[in-house]
């Protein structure tokens, strides 16, 4: 008998947990309600996730991985730094325009702001993992293509230039996501500002 976890059922549990956390908050959510939303037994939920905390951490990990993978670009010494940064910026803009990504991130932010211990443990875990943009910045720095001393910090700065226009207003203020027709101009503006400080020419 194939005893591998049913991935479709597992995802339905994750989706149900996300909805339950959004509606009831982490403290108010319970595994019975999550099981009901997922239309599975409570035992099935526990077979996949041993606790409500484990479910929350799984969602946080998925958001981190989605963001990291969506903006991953291998450094190419044959391509201009500007063009590579434009590619990364446009990937980031597509990610933050994804309603599902915004939904998950909004839930996580709400909970982490209200739970200091959970926020600390979650952020500490992610701090141990190097981001794809940090790896790219490190490679660019090694070739002398950028003037940076801290690749991770430079990566965060680059993403921040994008998110101040196309992520935080949508996440916090409920503004409409920017249409893809605007992505190119935003990407060019962000890259120009970043290179003005960290470019070598």
Share of the chain above pLDDT 70, in %: 94
User: pLDDT by residue (tens digit) across 4-53?
Assistant: 558 889 999 999 999 999 899 888 999 999 999 999 999 999 999 999 98
For 52-182, where are the alpha helices, taking DSSP H only? 52-70, 81-96, 99-114, 116-127, 132-142, 151-166, 168-172
pLDDT at 127 > cutoff 70: no
- The residues with which 199 forms a beta bridge, in sequence order, are 146
pLDDT at 131 > cutoff 90: no
Output 1 or 122, whichever has higher pLDDT.
Answer: 122
Residues 46 and 59 in one domain: no
Instruction: Write the CATH number for 10.
Output: 1.10.10.60
Please answer whether residues 55 and 14 qualify as being in contact, where contact means their C-beta atoms are separated by less than 8 angstroms: yes
Residue of 8, 44, 24, 189 whose CA lies nearest to 107: 24
pLDDT at 1 > cutoff 50: no
pLDDT at 120 > cutoff 80: no
pTM score, whole prediction: 0.83
Instruction: Write the CATH number for 164.
Output: 1.10.357.10
Choose the final residue of a domain: 34, 50, 66: 50
Residues 63 and 143 in one domain: yes
Residues 110 and 190 in one domain: yes
The per-residue pLDDT for 112 is 83
Give me the helix-helix angle, 81-96 and 183-198, nearest 10°. 130
Residues 115 and 189 in one domain: yes
Neighbours of 142 (CB within 10 A): 12
Choose the final residue of a domain: 9, 32, 50: 50
CA distances from 125 to 7, 60, 116, 158, 163 (A): 25, 10, 14, 22, 22
Residue of 172, 61, 73 whose CA lies nearest to 122: 61
State the average pLDDT over residues 129-135.
85
pLDDT at 126 > cutoff 70: no
Residues 13 and 109 in one domain: no
Residues 33 and 80 in one domain: no
Q: What is the 3-state secondary structure (H, E, C) of 2-16?
A: CCCCCHHHHHHHHHH
Residues 76 and 172 in one domain: yes
The per-residue pLDDT for 187 is 97
Distance from C-alpha of 56 to C-alpha of 173, rounded to nearest angstrom: 24
pLDDT at 125 > cutoff 80: no
Rounded to a whole number of angstroms, the distance between the first and last alpha carbons of the chain is: 63
Residues 110 and 60 in one domain: yes
Residues 28 and 75 in one domain: no
The per-residue pLDDT for 130 is 72
Give the count of domains, the chain.
2
Mean per-residue pLDDT over the chain, rounded? 90
Domain membership of residue 126 as a residue range: 55-198
């Amino acid at each position: 008998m194939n005893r591998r976890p049913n991935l479709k059922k597992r995802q339905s549990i994750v989706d149900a947990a996300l909805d339950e956390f959004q509606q009831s908050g982490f403290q108010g959510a319970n595994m019975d309600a999550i099981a009901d939303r997922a239309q599975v037994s409570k035992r099935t939920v526990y077979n996949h996730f041993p606790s409500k905390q484990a479910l929350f951490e799984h969602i946080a990990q998925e958001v981190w991985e989605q963001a990291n993978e969506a903006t991953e670009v291998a450094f190419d010494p044959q391509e201009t730094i500007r063009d590579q940064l434009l590619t990364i910026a446009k990937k980031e803009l597509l990610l933050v325009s994804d309603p599902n990504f915004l939904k998950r991130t909004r839930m996580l932010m709400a909970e982490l702001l209200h739970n200091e211990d959970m926020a600390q443990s979650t952020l500490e875990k992610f701090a141990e993992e190097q981001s794809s943009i940090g790896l790219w910045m490190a490679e660019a720095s090694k070739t002398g293509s950028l003037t940076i001393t801290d690749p991770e910090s430079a990566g965060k700065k680059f993403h921040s230039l994008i998110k101040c226009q196309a992520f935080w207003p949508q996440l916090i203020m409920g503004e409409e996501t920017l249409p893809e027709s605007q992505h190119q101009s935003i990407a060019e503006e962000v890259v120009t500002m970043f290179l003005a400080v960290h470019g070598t020419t």
